[in-house]
Amino acid sequence: MISKKDKSFGDYKNKGHLWITLSTGEYYPDVLPLACELYKPVLVTFGQLLKSAHSSTDLFMAIAETTPQWMRIQLCRVFRKYVSPETPVEMLKKKSAAASICDRFGKGFRKITEVQAKFQDRPMPDEALCAVLWEYKDRGQKGYDLTERLFTIIRERFKELDIIGPERAGKDVILGELFEDYPKPDRPVDFVLLHKGTPVAVGLARYDSDRGGAQEDDRTGQYRDCASEVLNYAKKKNMPLKVIFLNDGPGLLLGSMWRDYEYLENKWSGLVKVVTLRMFSERITIKWLLSKES
């Protein structure tokens, strides 16, 4: 039976808005001068490549050869808007895949003459497109802020623990590199807590500004698979390993997210905890991390 001191994630739901962290945003149209300043060189470069291209596939191959990487990625985003909105942007960013992208998607590219005409009709810089590109600039930033603050909490309040993982951007912890004979060796996690050098918890961290519908199902499904896999391995190896899902942001208050996370925690009661940053110090304890109770 859960004591009053050991509240579940579901017990926080009625006052959930008091337990989430809100990241500051930027106001429109205040961002436009900076956005235009940052992305005007991208649009100028795109215009130069567009002018000399004899086909849309020729344009894309020219973009693929552009350096530095930042410029190439931004040009790919402009290309997607003007030429091939159905092509996944992550695919466009892969320089080595340029030829295969043209083979697979080239038939659906907008004709180069039409692209040239549409581009010429827009002002330079194009405020609307610069605003769209600006939205990509800080994508993932709130997630980086979340993990950075987690590292700070561990170092300041949990002197007995060490934490490994990318503090902001960087390579995830790969469980196959941490545990011998791990069943899915390429399983990535965002952080691992260690006590005296021994892993005691693995965790995923996500900041949700907004979430709903199918995204909710995807997230909780991924979490469920991860928890099941980690805990089955820990049981097989007789390890007191726990799973922590650090989630934050106003997206938690939308749809069924809070209830779904509550279900995940209850499914593996005593082995899984879902927390926000504000809950972390209250709900994650050395006693819980080292306990062998299921």
Q: Maximum Cα–Cα distance for the chain, whole Å?
A: 72
Whether pLDDT at 226 is above 50: yes
Looking at residue 64, its amino acid is: A
Closest CA to 161 of 203, 192, 204, 205: 192
Angle of helix 214-237 relative to helix 257-267, nearest 10 degrees, comes to 10
C-alpha distances in Å from residue 120, one per residue of 49, 113, 124, 216: 13, 11, 9, 41
Q: Where are the domains of the chain?
A: 9-23+140-290, 32-137
What pTM value is reported for the model?
A: 0.73
Supply the pLDDT for residue 256. Answer: 84
How far apart are the C-alpha atoms of 183 and 186, rounded to whole Å?
9
How far apart are the C-alpha atoms of 7 and 26, rounded to whole Å?
35
The CATH number of domain 9-23+140-290 is 3.40.580: yes
**Confidence class for position 255, pLDDT limits 50, 70, 90:** confident
Give me the residue label for tokens 């600006």.
134
**Confidence class for position 236, pLDDT limits 50, 70, 90:** very high
How far apart are the C-alpha atoms of 187 and 159, rounded to whole Å?
28
CA geometry: angle at 203 spanning 199 and 208, to 5°? 165
Beta strands at 242-248 and 188-189: parallel, antiparallel or unpaired: unpaired
**Confidence class for position 246, pLDDT limits 50, 70, 90:** very high
Supply the pLDDT for residue 128. Answer: 95
Q: What is the pLDDT of residues 187-218, one digit of tens each?
A: 999 999 999 999 999 999 988 876 544 455 56
